[in-house]
Amino acid sequence: MLDYAINTMPGVVDDITQTIGNTPLIRLSKFAASQHVEATLLAKVEFFNPAGSIKDRPAIAMLNALMASSAFNEKTEIIEASSGNNGVACAWLCAIYGIKLTVCIPEHMSVERQKLIRHYGAHVVTTPKHLGTKGAIDKATALIEQNPAAVGLSQFSNQANPDAHAKSTAQEILRDTNGNVDIVVAGVGTGGTLTGLATSMRAHIPHLEVVAVEPASCPVLSKGHGGVHNIQGLSSGHVPDVLDVSQINQIITVEDNEAIAYAQQVARVEGLAVGISSGAALFAAAQLAQQPSNEGKNIVVILADGAERYFSTPLFAD
Q: How many CB atoms lie within 10 A of CB 108?
A: 17
The answer to whether residue 5 scores a pLDDT higher than 80 is no
Q: Which of 55, 139, 167, 297 is catalytic?
A: 55
Q: How far apart are CA 180 and CA 183, in angstroms?
A: 10
pLDDT score for 10? 62
Burial of 70 (0-12, 13-18, 19+ CB in 10 A): exposed
Amino acid in the structure at residue 261: A
What b/e readout covers 231-263, taking b as 16+ CB neighbours within 10 angstroms? Answer: bbbbbbbeebebbeeebbeebbbbbbebbbebb
DSSP string, 248-308: -SEEEEE-HHHHHHHHHHHHHHH---B-HHHHHHHHHHHHHHTSGGGTT-EEEEEE-BBGG
pLDDT score for 165? 98
The DSSP output letter for 165 is I
Decide if 236 is catalytic. no
Q: How far apart are CA 195 and CA 242, in angstroms?
A: 7
pLDDT score for 58? 96
Q: Which residues pair with 79 in a beta bridge?
A: 102
Read off the pTM. Answer: 0.93
The answer to whether residue 294 scores a pLDDT higher than 60 is yes
The DSSP output letter for 236 is -
Closest CA to 133 of 185, 78, 188: 188
Does domain 56-151 match CATH 3.40.50.1100?
yes
Domain boundaries, the chain: 16-52+159-316, 56-151
Mean pLDDT of the chain: 93
Topology (CATH) of 16-52+159-316: Rossmann fold (3.40.50)
Decide if 82 is catalytic. no
If you average pLDDT over residues 44-64, what whole number do you get?
97
Q: 100-134, pLDDT tens digit by residue?
A: 999 999 998 889 999 999 999 999 999 998 888 88
pLDDT score for 318? 66
Which percentage of the chain shows pLDDT scores above 90? 84
pLDDT band at 213 (very low <50, low <70, confident <90, very high): very high
The DSSP output letter for 316 is G
pLDDT score for 7? 54
Q: Which residue has the higher pLDDT, 26 or 110?
A: 26
pLDDT score for 224? 87
Q: How far apart are CA 118 and CA 96, in angstroms?
A: 14
Q: Which of 53, 277, 278, 297 is catalytic?
A: 277
Q: Fold identical between 16-52+159-316 and 56-151?
A: yes
CA distance readout (Å), 318 to 84, 230, 270: 24, 17, 20
Which percentage of the chain shows pLDDT scores above 70? 97
Q: 143-164, pLDDT tens digit by residue?
A: 999 999 999 999 999 999 999 9
Q: Which residues make Cβ contacts (< 8 Å) with residue 139, sequence separation at least 6?
A: 81, 104, 125, 127
